[in-house]
Amino acid sequence: MAPGTQHIIYVHGLWMSGGEGLLLRYRLAREVGAEVHAFSYSALQHGMDHISARLAEFVAAIDPPNLHFVGHSLGGLVIYSFFERYTSPPGRVVFLATPCVASRAAEQAGQTRFMSALMGRAVSEVLLTPRQRRWRWRFDRPLGIIAGSHSFGVGQFLAGFDEESDGTVAVSETRLPGATAHLVVPVSHAGMLVSARVARETAHFLREGRFSTAAA
C-alpha cells in the first residue's frame, strides 16, 4: 500500500453479506480516493465479542496508516462494539440507519421465538438484552450519522412507527449522544445503500469531518 493511502472498512447490516453495499463502496472509493474493504460476519452464529475480535484481525491485516469506518444498520453497532474493545488507526466514522439507542422493530420481532432465533446472538446482545451500557459516542474520532425518513420496510409493520422512520429504524433511534453530526435524508433503510446523495454525504464527512448540508 502506498504511504498515506486512505482506507475505509464497510460493515454490513443484519442478514447481509457486504455485497449489497457494492455501489456505495464504489462511490466512496471514487469520491474519497480510498481503498474500500468489506468486512463480513454472521450475527446469527456469533456474539459481539467474537465479531469484534474478527474485525480487529481484519484491521490488523490491512495495517493502514489511517482508517475510516462506515456501518449500515447493525454494522454501526459492530463498529461501536469494536471500539469498546480495541484501538485502531485515526480516522472518521459514519453510521447509516444504525439503531444506536433502541430498535422497536427488533424488540417486537424478538417477542417470538422464531424471529428471535432468526436475528441471532449479536442482535440479542446489543438490542434485546437489558444491559448497563453508556449509550454515548465516547471515542476519539468524529462520528456522522445519516438517518432515513422514507418509511418503506417490514419494520414499519412490526413497530408501527408514528414518527419519521426509514421503514425499519426510527429517526429518533439513530440519535446517539456525542455524535459529531446527524443528517436526515428521504430514503428507506435499504435505499440508503443505493442513494447517490447518501454516498456523497458519507464521502464528504469522511473527508471533512462534517456533512455538506445542514444537519437535522
The domains of the chain, with CATH numbers, are: 6-128+141-208 (3.40.50.1820)
- Dihedrals φ, ψ of 39, to 5°? -95, 125
**Per-residue pLDDT at 2:** 43
Spatial distance between the Cα atoms of 160 and 162, rounded to a whole number of angstroms:
6
Using CB atoms within 10 Å of the CB of residue 54, give its burial: 0 to 12 exposed, 13 to 18 middle, 19+ buried. middle
Give residue 167's pLDDT band: very low, low, confident or very high (50, 70, 90).
confident
Residue pLDDT, tens place only, 28-51: 999 999 999 999 998 777 888 999
Question: In this structure, what is the dihedral angle of CA atoms 128, 133, 138, 143, given to the nearest 10 degrees?
Answer: 10
| Nearest C-alpha neighbor of 170 from the set 202, 147, 136 | 147
**CB-CB neighbours of 102 under 10 Å:** 15
Give residue 112's pLDDT band: very low, low, confident or very high (50, 70, 90).
low
**Per-residue pLDDT at 38:** 97
| Nearest C-alpha neighbor of 86 from the set 134, 48, 120, 37 | 48
- The arithmetic mean of pLDDT across residues 158-186, rounded, is 86
Spatial distance between the Cα atoms of 211 and 74, rounded to a whole number of angstroms:
22
Mean pLDDT over each residue of the chain, to the nearest integer: 83
pLDDT tops 90 at residue 203: yes
Q: Which of 16-30, 58-72, 92-106 has the lowest mean pLDDT?
A: 92-106
**Per-residue pLDDT at 135:** 72
